Structure 1
Amino acid sequence: MTTLVIGVDGGGTSTRCVVATESGEIAGRGYGAGANILTAADPGESLRTALLAATEGLSPGAVAAGVFALAGSESARERAGRLAAEAWRACGLAGRIEIVPDPLAAFAGATEEPSGTVLIAGTGAVAARITGRRLARRADGHGWLLGDAGSGVWIGRRAVQAVLAFLDGRAGPTVLLDALSGHVTAWEESDHEAPADETPADHETPAGHRAATDRRAVAMTTQRAVRAVHGGIARTGPAWLGRLAPAVETAAAEGDAAALEILREAADRLVSTTLSLGPGPGPLVLAGSLLTEPTLLAAQVRAGLGGLGGTVLTARDSAAGAAALALHMVASDALPAHRELIA
């Protein structure tokens, strides 16, 4: 019977699961909703969904080990261990499991090197120093309320603040108003709470700014925006704010001043977080959707970190990285399989 290992990457927006053979071949994949231990609506259900999909048609008894890389697990390790164990048992899986911080899996998903640095910017944001496939030091990653500076949620929150400043008359117009209007309208329609005919008061949409808005945007008010943001977070968690991050990228590419300033500050925060770790050996891995896609933010971060020197790698698959860590749990020499798995 072929020995199998499992890697799970549970972030704020989605959960990904990879099943790999002892030689590093991928035998199954599965997906679920967010599994951030601190912010996801139902992380346990997300883990079960991803595990069941990834192991469909495979022998549960062949699984020798599993690694769960779960966002928020360091602040709630006991709960993370309990939820992972419950999901593991619910899927009838054998073998032992280990809970690791998500930066460790992101790093292992990009390189077989045992040590280096990783910067993640997705729904959340964190930088970490990896030593001997263990997290030695981290900076930020304190969650959307207290940190995660430069993350997708941070960018989304700043976008809402820019729109509110415009509606209040504290700042100039921004095309981010259109993006927020679309999200607010979608939330109202899904929640059946759309206002009958809410027209902004003069102080909410300054007369000098009205020409810059379309018919839908004119109907936007601070009350509607604030109500939708709080409602969206209550229903799906702070990742709701992160949905605005792509709109900020688009607006910045079009030259919108507010969006450009948001991305500039986000890049500065991410660079500062990474530099706070100090110099160290090994490659620098950039992970998370904001840094692995060809975004303006990614380009600014790379430029800001250019003085570090050394090898800069783009992360591929954190779930595969978690599976690679599981391979190291069961094999005396897992490097060949590790390389194969993340190739």
Structure 2
Amino acid sequence: MTEHVVIGVDAGGTSTRCAVVTRGGRLLAHGRAGGGNQYSSADPAGAFESALRAALADAGDITVDAAVFGVSGASVGDANAVRTVTGVWKALGLPGTPYVSDDIVIAFAAGSAADAGTVLIAGTGAVAAYVRDGAVARRCDGYGWLLGDEGSAVWIALAGLRAALASLDGRGRPTVLAQHLAGALKTTPGDTQAIVRAAYARPPAGLGELAPVVAAAAADGDTVAREIVAEASERLLTNLATVAPDPLDAAPVVFAGALLSTGPVADTVREGLRTRYGTTPRIAADGALGAAGLALRRSGAPESAHAQLLKPPAAGERPRGRTAN
């Protein structure tokens, strides 16, 4: 028997995830491939196709009613992203035309089925936004590592590297970051020029991989690292307050991104949200589920189907899925 489904795709800088979902909000199959950012990934079209093929191979006999792509590095209706997505979609012989959105609304929809609310994203980059009716109504930051992304993993890593170098050349206070970051970069502790060369050799997004070193030092009590984490958390809270409605508890708040899932930044920002606004955030699920939730709504499915999709799976319930080679 043919199953009517929708498809959601979340294309980030490091991975692209695809979810095939029934009209009732049940995850049927999923696929995963490489990065699909329109500007930083090597082959977005190839990633889209691989993730789709991986999910469709396990979905069985289906009819696709709607699809939504959330593409990092693209705005809603971005011409380049639309062209790439449409080309892959047609090449696979799929019906209709997918809706192309950005990863901000997808992140909100991965944490809430509400029509409006606030989302704070902190991973490699950072952005806050107020989302209404599937579109960004207000946003703060998300300007990339050079001009913004304050409080992000890259921001934390850069602050840690600056503090380490200042400690080594005598401008700053002593900190274990001088040794720990040198070790993470596989350079000789105390060799400032080696640290500089290793840092500049990494792409900006790759520097974000050093943020856990700073977080670990903060957790161990290093004063400089703790101040960096506290400052990152404060900047994220400021971004959220800039876009959020007043009162904040009038609509849900969704946290998304690795920095806000666990660790000292997540703990500090969550506590700041609770003490300042009396609000507990919702944690976003896989972005592909958010994209599929928006696809359900665009197909005419009730809000309850989107809400059902975001519920944790029952014990032992696993959808079919694979990672593309």
TM range (shorter): 0.7 to 0.9
Deviation sequence 1:4-60 (CA, Å, 0-9, x none):
211111223332221111111112112223333333343333333322222224369
Given candidates 273, 282, 287, the residue that maps to 1:305 is 273
Q: Distance in 2 between matches of 1:181 and 1:113?
A: 45
Cα distance change, pair 226–51 in 1 and its aligned pair in 2 (3 A):
farther
Work out the CA distance in 2 between the residues paired with 1:157 and 1:177: 13
- Residue of structure 1 aligned with 2:218, choices 233, 252, 256: 252
Equivalent of 1:265 in 231, 237, 240: 231
Name which of 285, 292, 300 aligns with 1:316.
285
Give the Å deviation of 1:135.
1.8
Pick closer, same or farther for the CA change 1:38–1:145 going to 2, 3 Å.
farther
State the distance in 1 between where 2:12 and 2:58 align.
Answer: 26
Contact 2:273 2:280 in 1 (8 A): no
Helix, strand or coil: the match of 1:161? Answer: helix
Letter in 2 for 1:240: G
Do 1:180 and 1:244's aligned partners in 2 also have CA atoms closer than 8 Å?
A: yes
User: 1:277-288, aligned counterparts within 5 Å?
Assistant: 277-280=243-246, 281-288=250-257
**2: distance between equivalents of 1:8 and 1:330?**
15
Secondary structure of the residue aligned to 1:72 is coil
1:95 paired residue number: 96
Corresponding residue number in structure 2 for 1:212: none
Structure 2 residue 196 is matched with structure 1 residue 226: yes
CA distance in 2, matches of 1:171, 1:125: 27
Gaps of 5+ in 2: 312-325
State how far apart, in whole Å, the 1-side matches of 2:179 and 2:90 are: 46
- Please say which of residues 156-165 and 31-40 is displaced more in the overlay: 31-40
- 1:92–1:155 CA distance, 2 compared to 1 (3 A): farther
Q: CA, structure 1 residues 315+25, in 2 after alignment: closer, same or farther (shift >3 Å)?
A: same
Aligned to 2:16: 15
Instruction: From the superposition, tell whether residues 87 and 161 of structure 1 become closer, same or farther in structure 2 (CA, over 3 Å).
Output: farther
The verdict on how the C-alpha distance between 1:224 and 1:106 changes in structure 2, with shifts beyond 3 A counting, is same
What is the CA-CA distance between 1:128 and the residue it aligns to? 0.8
CA contact (8 A) 1:61 1:93 kept: no
Q: What letter is aligned with 1:40?
A: S
Contact 1:8 1:16 (C-alpha < 8 Å) held by counterparts: yes
Aligned residue pairs, count: 306
Identify if the C-alpha distance between structure 1 residues 310 and 251 changes in structure 2 by more than 3 Å, giving closer, same or farther. closer
Match of 2:178 in 1: 177
Shift of 1:309: 3.4
Name the SS of the counterpart of 2:118 in structure 1. strand
User: Normalising by the residue count of structure 1, what TM-score does the alignment of the two structures yield?
Assistant: 0.82
1:261-318 superposed Cα distances (whole Å, 9 cap, x missing partner)? 111110111011111114243111111111122x111121123223223452122222
Over residues 95-143 of structure 1, what are the superposed CA-to-partner deviations in whole Å (9 max), with x where a residue is unaligned? 3211112121111111211111111111111111112232211111111
**1:284-295 → structure 2 map (5 Å cutoff):** 284-293=253-262, 295=263
Aligned partner of 1:153 in structure 2 is 154
Return the letter of the residue paired with 2:309.
L
1:88 shift after superposition = 2.6
TM-score (norm 2): 0.86
CA distance in 1, matches of 2:33, 2:179: 30
User: Where do 5+ consecutive residues of structure 1 fail to align?
Assistant: 186-215
Structure-2 residue corresponding to 1:203: none
Residue 192 of structure 1 aligns with which residue?
none
The aligned counterpart of 2:306 is 338
Distance 1:124 1:171, change over 3 A: same
Per the alignment, residue 108 of structure 1 pairs with 109
d(CA) in 1 for partners of 2:60 and 2:296? 17
3-state secondary structure, aligned to 2:174: coil
1:43 and 1:146 map into 2 onto residues whose CA distance is 24
Q: Secondary structure at the match of 2:53?
A: helix
CA RMSD of aligned residues (A): 2.3
Cα displacement (A) at 1:76: 9.1
Amino acid at match of 1:224: A
Q: Which amino acid in 2 is paired with 1:246? A: P
**8 Å Cα contact 1:9/1:322 also seen in 2:** yes
Percent identity, please.
Answer: 44
Alpha-carbon displacement from aligned partner over 1:299-342 (angstroms, at most 9, x marks no partner): 211232232234521222221011010111112x3222212211
Aligned letter for 1:308?
Answer: Y
* Secondary structure of the corresponding residue to residue 32 of structure 1: strand
